[in-house]
Amino acid sequence: MSGLLVAGTTSDAGKSVLTAGICRWLHRRGVKVAPFKAQNMSNNSVVVVGPDGRGGEIGRAQAMQAAACGIEPDLRFNPVLLKPGSDVSSQVVLLGEAIDTVTAGNYRSMKPRLAEVAHAALAELRAEYDAVICEGAGSPAEINLRDGDFVNMGLARRAGLPAIVVGDIDRGGVFAALFGTLALLDPADQALVAGFVINKFRGDLGILRPGLDMITAATGRPVHGVLPFHLDVWLDGEDSLAYGRVLGRPAAPRGTEWLRVAVVRLPRVSNATDAEALAAEPGVRVRMTIEPAEIADADLVVLPGSKATVSDLAWLRETGLADAVTAHAAAGKPLLGICGGFQMLSRTIHDEVESRRGTVPGLGLLPVDITFGARKTLARSAGVAFDAPVTGYEIHHGVVSSGTPRPLLRYADGRPEGAVAGHVFGTHWHGAFESDEFRRRFLTEAARLAGRHGFVVAPDTRFAALRERSLDVLADLVEEHLDTAALWRLIEQGPPAGLSFVPPGAPGCTSEVP
């Protein structure tokens, strides 16, 4: 066996979840399978411990896909990670380590080096695993980026991988998107595109079927299946922009009252997935919001992580959200800051690393000062909070440089972490609320502080089990709605010969396959 590239008509077309579903389907068949994304652009990342014992970052989606494969995450699963810090610059993470900050212009000169690392990582994985399921990025038809591409068709060409293209019918225009994606590829790229998958379909498949037949006739490629829209597929979002206003499917409360949580959707939000564990609890309604009125209406407000803490803090002030957050705290209601959000709650932030703006005032709601260091803290951590075991991971430049607050939690060796000042809480740990008992105790305290005395936590929610169930749902969808025999042939045998060319092809190309 070899592998497969899952490409998409757009970002958020369903590449990440389809890759995870195929991985779990293969894993259930006893195949030794691994995920791969040569280059990811996302501020949702996790810490993976490398072979040298040091922590490194990969995209959270690839960690989720590794779980689908039944294996531990590996830095090679996402060798290049771009973490946007502004509209024009990104931090470049190579095999887990931040190596530079680049703009779109000077990134071009770095591409050849990054591409070789990515190709080498894929070659190693293919030697170690029976199959590697690769996820593309954005769209392979981004013709301005094809030169030097190593994540979409450039990767498929180099590795000889067959590709399928997934399109999101929920957005409309899926047939035009599928046809146009193929028709803007040059002949050699088109020769690797073996079929299509339609995602998020709602309605009568019989009405859609004539369209499936027509796109097959127009392109010479089959539609390998139509995945239905499914409400249980929402954990581990690749991009915070994929979130709706309400996370997940809020289950009815176990007590008599709901707990309403507002998570501020910062412009450069990172690891917004932290809120998913809260949303998994019955009776907890979690909104992503940029509305001051929704902050005022919430019981618990969360400031999540940020890749641009100082800039996002300035945005909070410009939009009036900072006033809404401080008014919420002044009313005695609970407020939680995670990583960059924790730093925003401090007295001062001294940053000569990310924003390079020197010392700026924080919101002054926690008695700490933050200083950014040149070296990023990357660690998997364990400890105790609210007398319950808790694990998480850390990705931050900022550290507490002064102040001795009451800590929110303690490391396993007893060192303090985070801060508590009355009803205001802060921590640098991501993923902490996936620890079930800690999450329950924190929410119980938050409900008490908010006056929601009728809110009762569920004693049986297991976040890890919910994630496993979500992965199994994805595999079930693949098995029930896709032509798995065709997928199996592609993975085993590679792209079929004789796939037709669909004009016009990439601008300037000829119709000949080299």
* Residue 499, SS3 per DSSP: coil
For residue 508, pLDDT over 80 is answered with no
Distance CA 154, CA 258 (A): 50
What is the model's pLDDT at position 2?
A: 87
The domain ranges of the chain are 3-233+467-493, 255-457
**Of 102 and 244, the one with more pLDDT:** 102
* Residue 441, SS3 per DSSP: helix
Q: Summarize the confidence of residues 259-278 as an average pLDDT.
A: 92
End-to-end CA distance of the chain: 25
Split at pLDDT 50, 70, 90, the class of 241 is very low
What is the model's pLDDT at position 242?
A: 46
Split at pLDDT 50, 70, 90, the class of 235 is low
Residues listed for the chain: 514
> What Å distances lie between residue 209 and 219, 223, 225, 510, CA to CA?
16, 10, 11, 33
Tokens of 301: 């407000």
Residue in this structure with the two tokens 């006739």, named with its chain if needed: 217
Distance CA 497, CA 513 (A): 12
Axis crossing angle, helix 321-330 with helix 309-319, rounded to the nearest 10: 80
Identical fold between 3-233+467-493 and 255-457: yes
For residue 503, pLDDT over 80 is answered with yes
Tokens of 54: 């040091």
What is the model's pLDDT at position 378?
A: 93
Tokens of 42: 């996302």
The answer to whether the bond into 504 is cis (omega within 30° of 0) is: yes
Of the candidates 1, 18, 62, the one whose C-alpha atom is nearest the C-alpha of residue 164 is 18
Superfamily of domain 3-233+467-493: P-loop containing nucleotide triphosphate hydrolases (3.40.50.300)
Mean pLDDT score of the chain? 93
Distance CA 254, CA 69 (A): 34
pLDDT tens-digit readout, 60-73: 999 999 999 999 99
For residue 239, pLDDT over 70 is answered with no
For residue 170, pLDDT over 70 is answered with yes
For residue 232, pLDDT over 80 is answered with no
Amino acid at 304: P
Put residue 387 in one of left, alpha, beta given phi > 0 → left and psi -120 to 50 → alpha. left
Amino acid at 352: E
Tell me which of 3.40.640.10, 3.40.50.880, 1.10.760.10, 1.20.58.220 is the CATH number of domain 255-457: 3.40.50.880
pLDDT tens-digit readout, 113-160: 999 999 999 999 999 999 999 999 999 999 998 999 999 999 999 999
Phi and psi for 281 in degrees, rounded to 5?
-80, 130
- pTM (2 decimals)? 0.92
Distance CA 486, CA 495 (A): 11
Burial of 240: CB neighbours in 10 Å, binned 0-12, 13-18, 19+:
buried
Q: Summarize the confidence of residues 376-387 as an average pLDDT.
A: 95
**Of 108 and 208, the one with more pLDDT:** 208
Q: What percent of the chain has pLDDT over 70?
A: 97
Of the candidates 300, 315, 329, 328, the one whose C-alpha atom is nearest the C-alpha of residue 269 is 315
pLDDT tens-digit readout, 475-495: 999 999 999 999 999 999 999
Of the candidates 389, 401, 303, the one whose C-alpha atom is nearest the C-alpha of residue 352 is 401
* Residue 33, SS3 per DSSP: strand
What is the model's pLDDT at position 281?
A: 94
Contact 11, 178 (CB under 8 A): no
| Range in 170-179, 233-242, 275-284, 442-451 with the lowest mean pLDDT | 233-242
Half-sphere exposure of 486 (CA within 13 A, CB side): 16
For residue 64, the surrounding DSSP H or E stretch is: helix 60-69
Contact 161, 192 (CB under 8 A): yes
What is the model's pLDDT at position 240?
A: 47
pLDDT tens-digit readout, 88-117: 888 999 999 988 888 877 888 899 999 999
Catalytic site positions: 339, 430
Distance CA 376, CA 393 (A): 13
For residue 410, pLDDT over 80 is answered with yes
Axis crossing angle, helix 15-28 with helix 484-493, rounded to the nearest 10: 90
pLDDT tens-digit readout, 306-365: 999 999 999 999 999 999 999 999 999 999 999 999 999 999 999 998 889 999 999 999
What is the model's pLDDT at position 237?
A: 63
For residue 510, pLDDT over 80 is answered with no
Of the candidates 282, 284, 274, the one whose C-alpha atom is nearest the C-alpha of residue 246 is 284
